[in-house]
Amino acid sequence: MSQQVKITRARLHGSPVYLGEMTGPDGTPGPVWSTDPDAVLGWLCDGFRFRFNQRRSVRCRYLTCQDRNGDRVLVTDPAGVPVLVPIGRTVTDITDAQARRQHSFLAAIPGYVLEATLKTEHTEWFSAAKRRKTNAAAGRRPGAMPGFRRKGSDQRFVCWFNGGRNAVFTKTGRRSGVVMISGANPRTHRAPGLGPDGKPHKLGWRITLHVRLSQPIRPYTSVRVNWTRRRLVFVNEPLPVTGKVSTGEVIGIDRGVAHTVADDRGRFYDAPDTSALDKQRRFHQRRMAKSRLVAARQGRRFWESKRYQAHKSAAAGLAAKQARIRDDFAHQLSTRLVRGHDFIGIEKLPVEPMTRRPKPVRDPNKSTRFLPNGAARKRGLNRSMRNAALARLATCIEYKAALAGVAFVEVPAAYTSQRCHQCGHTARENRESQAVFRCQSHSCGWTGNADTNAAINIREEALTRWAAQQSEQLAGTSGEKPGGVAVSQAGSKSKTDPHTGPAPGPAASAMNREPPNAA
């Protein structure tokens, strides 16, 4: 993974930086130089965003229109081929040298910053295209393609390291270091006046970013600077996956709202409560909505005042804090589960369809009215499910299990909460409440936590599916199965023997595992 550090301060060395031609108070344009590190870094971020948007302008999208039914359909030419149009109003396809000549504020920006816009835009665009394809194949919403970077977003830029030619990191202390980004003014725009040594200014300049370290910096290819948040990221290769000690443990987990995760041993893992942050965020959102409503009632054009921008910034900050809390919980819990188990069974939960708004129901007697559809109650449930980050947790477990060689099996969630794991009796009446499960079969009568019962059913179903999959792979190949690793009963990873069959897996030891103590 990349390494992120905190920027503590910035300093400018060398010549004053040429920022381009700007209009003065008298209305006449003139060259501007600056020795303020904050102004220079803001200029670098603006130039990077401007050149990035120029490269993004050459991207195209499929032209759509609305049919008679109100649905969006593709527009095709007479030959039946979908029509492609640019995503923006204008297309700017020029080189960096041409951009420097046409726009004076790009003249002194380092070449490795301008070149980074090409790779950054290309990676962002095609990563989104691949993500859309993956989501569509999994039955999820594809999501939107990225657009232009807005001026009101975070100020950021990227600079290539390129073998030490720029963005050079030097460690200055046990937990401190500096990153030096160098550039030069054009020869035709040397800074006026004399330098500290009494001689004319040279062309070169250097920005020194002081950073606070928490770990050694690994070899990197570029640095990403977010000047708004005072963050710097070293882009480098992820750490190699270390050998995981096999435990032979099997676990089934059930996800929900009351308890974020419940396992088959009766343990519960709850996500941190962010309802207070959510309440504060919705307060700022209501204030923003009220500003727009007042402007509409007064018949004037709405504009973002400083107070509106303050509410907007506060709401965005609270939402980002909630996202960080959810992400931290998902990473910590997924790492704990992967390290402690060799087999993980989880239900395949369609979170996105479950969190959609209910469709409005029109009154058949009066078309202008709508009948109650439970939207308010569903809104609260959707908010709770999104705060639990159920899909994010499953994604973290899946990719970490693949890196660590842990078996990860998803099973359908249907009837796992209604089926008794002891006798197999399935009925809706078995679920007395959200937390209580009481088997209605006269020969069983097992009573316990409903989420724990569902986790046991998920574990058994996952083991059954995993054993069937291994048997199919063994029957279809005469040699080693794909990957060649089986989770053994003793807890060690062993090769599959083509003559004697696969090594005893967790199915052999976990099928007869005693359930948690019944209530």
**Residues labelled catalytic:** 254, 347, 451
Between CA 65 and CA 209 the distance in angstroms is 49
Q: In terms of C-beta density within 10 A (0-12 exposed, 13-18 middle, 19 or more buried), how is residue 196 classed?
A: exposed
Strand partners, 57: none
Q: What is the DSSP letter of 385?
A: H
Between CA 458 and CA 346 the distance in angstroms is 6
Nearest to 256 by CA among 135, 114, 384: 384
The two structure tokens encoding residue 161: 């390291």
* Positions of E strands within 174-263: 176-184, 204-212, 222-226, 231-235, 250-255, 261-263
Other CB atoms closer than 10 Å to residue 405's CB: what's the count?
16
Other CB atoms closer than 10 Å to residue 284's CB: what's the count?
20
Measured in residues, the chain has a length of 519
The two structure tokens encoding residue 480: 């080693």
Helix (H) or strand (E) holding 401: helix 390-404
Helix (H) or strand (E) holding 307: helix 306-340
Between CA 107 and CA 118 the distance in angstroms is 17
Q: In terms of C-beta density within 10 A (0-12 exposed, 13-18 middle, 19 or more buried), how is residue 73 classed?
A: exposed
Identify the three-state secondary structure at position 148: coil
Token look-up 């709405």 returns 302
| Inter-residue contact 256 to 393 (CB < 8 Å) | no
Nearest to 507 by CA among 252, 250, 244, 247: 250
| Inter-residue contact 48 to 96 (CB < 8 Å) | no
First to last CA, the chain: 45
Residue 126, CA distances (Å) to 2, 67, 123, 135, 146 in order:
20, 30, 6, 14, 10
